[in-house]
Amino acid sequence: MSYLSEVADLQISKYANIGGLAILVFDYCITFQDEVHWTWSRPWGLIRVIFTISRYLPFLGSGLTAYAALRVSGPCPPSLAENIIHILSIVAAEGMLVIRTWAFWQKSKKLLIGLLIYSAATVIGAVSMNILPNHQLISTDVSMIPGPCGFESSRNAALVYSILALFECVILILTAYKWFRDYRRSEVQSSIVTTVYGGSMLYMLCIIAITVTNVIIDAAFPVGFTNMFDTLQLVIHSVLASRILFHLRSSDARAHESDLPLLVSAARYGQPSQMQTNEMKSEVSEV
């Protein structure tokens, strides 16, 4: 790799991070009305606290990353504060997904305990992998840029993202299994079921896609690209976790406003389907 090539790679990486911050700001502007409507009138509780963290902390994390991308002097990026903010933001967004999955499974205690243990193991494993001192578990090219600092990350980040991608795949599988087992063959309130499960699964696939992309970039691309989607990873988690919450509460509102269609559906498909519909309402209202 030549010096000029690495400089060009770094410039692309920097612009991509600034673009990620722009996406976050744009999405906040177009979803602010939804936030006011679906969250501000709700009492403060665990879900609202986690939502607020996943919604607003990424602005600070993305801003710090953008600053690290643009500065020409100062400490080597990423700083400890920046890493902590990124971790907390992603953990909060993943926490929204865990709570949603738990609600889909009728607040199963066994599932909650399993998810909490797995979540803790994921966080510990990812953090440990990220702070291994001076150990590259994946071989890397040597930077051609002189000096101790550069807008680059360790190849260990690929393993960190791999752990995160595995956790997200487990959440997706649990959601898909619940949908296909309980609701896939039922036509009662099909629009609500599609919005709640289908929409959530689509968002999860998008989150997994950016995580896997980061795995590939950090493991196989030139060293200058290793931080290219650092901000976008944070932004996608925040944006999609917020949209999942907004859509769930919107679906809950529509379900409670459509009593007549529910009665017609019950008459057509029988009492079991009506019970499934009531169960569906309960699950949505919990999130």
The yes-or-no verdict on residue 272 having pLDDT over 50 is: no
pLDDT band per the 50, 70, 90 thresholds, residue 27: very high
How many Å apart are CA 230 and CA 219, to the nearest integer?
14
Taking only Cα atoms into account, the Rg of the chain, rounded to an integer number of angstroms, comes to: 21
Nearby residues of 272 by Cβ (< 8 Å), 6 or more positions away: none
Query: If you average pLDDT over residues 249-267, what whole number do you get?
Result: 54
Q: Return d(Cα 199, Cα 185) in angstroms, integer.
A: 17
Instruction: Give the residue numbers spanning the domain of 129.
Output: 3-285
pLDDT at position 75 is 45
- Two structure tokens written together for 141: 């090219």
What would the mean pLDDT of 180-197 be, rounded to a whole number? Answer: 65
Amino acid at 138: I
Residue pair 40/254 in contact by the 8 Å Cβ criterion? no
Give the model's pLDDT for residue 149: 55
- In sequence order, what DSSP letters do the residues of 129-183 get, joined into one string? HHS-TT--SS--PPP-S-SS--S---THHHHHHHHHHHHHHHHHHHHHHHHHHHT
**CB burial readout 267-284, b (16+ within 10 A) else e:** eeeeeebbebbeebbebb
User: Burial level of 168, CB count in 10 A (0-12/13-18/19+)?
Assistant: buried
Give the per-residue pLDDT at 247. 80
* pTM of the model as a whole: 0.78
DSSP summary character for residue 256: H
Q: CATH number for the domain including 98?
A: 1.20.1070
pLDDT at residue 29 is higher than 90: yes
Is the predicted pLDDT of residue 86 greater than 50, yes or no? yes
DSSP, collapsed to helix, strand or coil, labels residue 184 as coil
The vertex-192 CA angle with 187 and 193, nearest 5°, equals 60
- The average pLDDT across 141-159 equals 62
> What's the domain count of the chain?
1
Checking if the pLDDT of 254 tops 60, the result is yes
Find the Cα–Cα–Cα–Cα dihedral 6, 12, 17, 19, rounded to 10°.
170
Task: Identify residue 104 by its one-letter amino acid code.
Answer: F
Least confident window among 110-119, 222-231, 267-276: 267-276
How many degrees, rounded to 5, is the angle at CA 106 between CA 112 and CA 238? 60
Percent of the chain residues past pLDDT 90, beyond the cut: 30
Residue linked to tokens 């999860």: 204
